[in-house]
Amino acid sequence: MNGAYPNPIQKALYFVNLWRKKGAEISVVQKDEIGLAYLEHILGENKESIEQFLAGKFETTHLIGIKQAQVGTYKNDRDSFWTKVNETLKGIHSKTDIEWLKANKAEYHLLLHIDHNPSEKNSSGLIGKIHNNAIAYK
């Protein structure tokens, strides 16, 4: 993108369109990789708690929901998240894009738009679970 849209709203819409287009092209496995990166790097979850979340364990789901409601109030690793996203999506974001996305805390917005239609055959159950949990705790 590299500054093609100086207006922040235009820039945000650029990413929404990019992510929706890419979301229609990529596999469930790739979407799940992004969802796992969100849980690990943005919410700070370890492998065991992620497995418990996926299994529907109430206590873990509740604790993750509380974190989701407070994203940004604790240390998270946006650099690692966006590195993983860019690896998974084959480098679609420039360094300038990533800096803007990190500054605007766009991680959850990526999840919303990369997997925006749950009825699609390549919809991620993991991202859907993250969405549902976020709604319950917002």
The arithmetic mean of pLDDT across residues 64-75, rounded, is 81
- How far apart CA 19 and CA 136 sit, in angstroms, is 24
pLDDT at 72: 66
Model confidence pLDDT, tens digit, residues 16-65: 999 999 999 999 999 999 999 999 999 999 999 999 999 999 999 999 99
Of 20, 60, 54, 22, the residue nearest 35 (C-alpha): 54
Q: What is the pTM of this model?
A: 0.90
Q: Which residues contact 1 (CB under 8 A, 6 or more apart)?
A: 11, 14, 93, 94, 96, 97
- Identify the burial level of 57 via C-beta atoms within 10 angstroms of its C-beta, where 0-12 means exposed, 13-18 middle and 19 or more buried: middle
- How far apart CA 10 and CA 125 sit, in angstroms, is 30
Residue 113: pLDDT above 90? yes
The arithmetic mean of pLDDT across residues 85-110, rounded, is 94
pLDDT at 5: 64
22 is written with which tokens? 């890419």
The arithmetic mean of pLDDT across residues 95-105, rounded, is 93
Report CA 71 to chain centroid distance, whole Å.
12
